[in-house]
Amino acid sequence: MNTPRPVGASIPAFAHHSRRLPAPPPLLALRATLSQRERAKPAPCPGRYGLPRRNAPLSPILDIESPSFPPHCSPVVPPSENHAMNPAERRAGVSLAAIFALRMFGLFLILPVFAAHAHTLPGGDRASLAGLAIGAYGLTQAFLQIAFGVASDRFGRKPVILFGLALFVAGSAAAALATDIYDIIIGRSVQGAGAISAAVTALAADLTRDQHRTKIMAMIGSSIGLVFALSMVGGPLLYTAIGMSGIFWLTAALAIGAMALTVWVVPAAPQHQNVTQRPVGAIGRILRHGALMRLNFGVFALHFIQTAMWVTLPTALTQQSHLPVAAHWKVYLPAVLLSFTVMVPAVIAAERRGQFKPVFIGAVALLAFVQFGLHQWADNVWLTGLWLTFFFVAFNILEAMQPSLISRIVSPGIKGAALGVYNTLQSIGLFLGGAVGGWIVQHFGKTAIAGCCSALALLWLMLIILRPLAVPPKSLPSHTH
């Protein structure tokens, strides 16, 4: 008869099996195992939109070669979030581009007419003084760009922008009331003292995500190209209607309009970007950073070439193409508008398809080729218009891409300072392009200035080919862990 096994009878069996189990590891071995597992844990992924987490320290300068994400972090971005700007980004882009355009339109309006107007002023018959009056704003901008950029890091973007625009209004009023060439030089110098380019560009970077930043910079760069062409058209017409004094008063009114946009239309900067202190030695680190300085050299070369071209181009259109000054807009305006049809797809290819390097190198190569073509094959108005179209394609692409690259390299705390250095080199290029370009033409002729611009563009091309720029990955949203 089978009797039920007592409950206690299972205990020996359990005890028998328990003796077959391996002995628990010693305490030291267990600690070593846990330590290995802890070291094997992946690094935490960055926060939303690639920003550091609240307690993570900001690096003074982000190494351009280092990835934005650890290898295990797989950014998954919804298509709408990746490819479409949100309403705040669109508002920021349009309003900041308008601020740039209103300011630059006033600066550019005098270019096609001032050389002729200078002869009516006491002291204006000296070409050197007339050239200084045109380029004086670039010189004062060069001295103050870094200061304004650093101030925008410390005190906020909008207050610095408003202060700079107020200086611009004062300089425009001084030039409007000028009675001789020296007064106009002073007025133009005060205009340039409102060096807000770095602060505006830094604010554009603050208000946009990385994947849309080049689009915003393209809007700003395109607005500069467009108002440059419009100033070539409107300058002679306005000079006939309201005179040089009226043009300067109009410039002041446009700057006041830009101040209104800054106060009531431009979105407020994110709070995490408004730092109160600048990292010690930031300017020194910026000047020693190879990738940043190659971009800074690039903007110097680009704007030196732009200004030097317009030392000789109006004369060439008049003498070689037999086109009167009042009709030069018929060449400039179509060239700018056609350039947009090439520039926009190029920027989209750089952003969405990861073609930053080929687009960037191609634009610099096109810039160098244009200098050669304008000198060798521009003996009629149609060829000149074609080369100008190519120039504006290259110019607008580079104007959009370079500030975007700088904003990706540096951390928010010194973004204004880095863009201040960048815009300083830009202003130096504008000033030297006119001053040195005029001196070269006077002493060595037009062929020499064409050769100088070609050599500068080729040097830039060699730098970016021999020392290629590693484009930082975009700081896209990622899953948090």
Residue 418 is predicted with a pLDDT of 83
CA 132 from chain centre, in angstroms, equals: 26
Residue 246 lies in a domain: yes
pTM, whole model, 2 decimals?
0.70
- In a domain, residue 55? The reply is no
* Residue 401 lies inside a defined structural domain of this protein: yes
User: How many Cβ atoms from other residues are within 10 Å of residue 240's Cβ?
Assistant: 10
- Residue 96 has a pLDDT of 93
Burial class of residue 187 in the structure, from the number of CB atoms within 10 Å of its CB (0-12 exposed, 13-18 middle, 19+ buried)? buried
Number of domains making up the chain: 1
* Radius of gyration for the chain, computed over Cα atoms and rounded to the nearest angstrom: 29
Walking along the chain (481 residues) 10 residues at a time, the average pLDDT comes out as 49 47 52 50 42 37 36 39 77 92 89 81 79 83 87 90 96 95 93 90 86 78 77 85 94 96 89 49 81 91 88 79 79 85 84 82 94 81 89 88 79 76 87 81 81 93 82 41 36
Residues 6+ positions from 260 with CB-CB distance below 8 Å: none
Q: Is the dihedral of CA 453, 455, 456, 458 positive or negative?
A: positive
> DSSP for 96-137?
HHHHHHHHHHHHHTTTTTHHHHHTTSTTTT-HHHHHHHHHHH
Region class of 84: left (phi > 0), else alpha (psi between -120 and 50), else beta: beta
pLDDT at 471: 59
Cβ-contact 128, 311 below 8 angstroms: no
Element counts in the chain: helices (H) and strands (E): 17, 0
Structural domain includes residue 34: no
Predicted local confidence at residue 71, as pLDDT? 40
The C-alpha atoms of residue 318 and residue 314 are separated, in whole angstroms, by: 6
| Calpha distance 226→395 (Å, rounded) | 12
Establish if 191 belongs to a structural domain: yes
Domain encompassing residue 246: 85-466
Instruction: Fill in the DSSP letter of residue 7.
Output: G
Query: Helix, strand, or coil here: 410?
Result: strand
CATH code of residue 414: 1.20.1250.20
| 429: nearest Cα among 403, 457, 387 | 457
Structure tokens at 161: 């922008």
Cβ atoms of 223 and 100 within 8 Å: the answer is yes
Number of neighbours of residue 428 by Cβ within 10 angstroms: 21
How many whole angstroms separate alpha carbon 334 and alpha carbon 341? Answer: 11
- pLDDT value for 20: 53
Name 380's Cβ contacts closer than 8 Å, sequence gap at least 6: 320, 321
User: Is residue 69 in a domain?
Assistant: no
Locate 2 and state its tokens. 């089978």
Closest among 410, 409, 457 to 433, alpha carbons compared: 457
Is 244 part of any domain?
yes
258-269 burial, b if ≥16 CB within 10 A, otherwise e?
Answer: bbebbeeebeeb
Rounded to whole angstroms, how far apart are CA atoms 436 and 443? Answer: 11
Q: Is residue 333 within a helix (H) or strand (E), and if so which, with residue range?
A: helix 329-352
Nearest to 306 by CA among 437, 401, 145: 437
Count the Cβ atoms, other than its own, within 10 Å of residue 91: 15
- Residue 243, pLDDT score: 92
Angle between helices 181-193 and 127-155 (to 10 degrees): 20
Does any domain span residue 16?
no
Q: For residues 225 and 332, what is the distance between their CA atoms, to the nearest angstrom?
A: 10
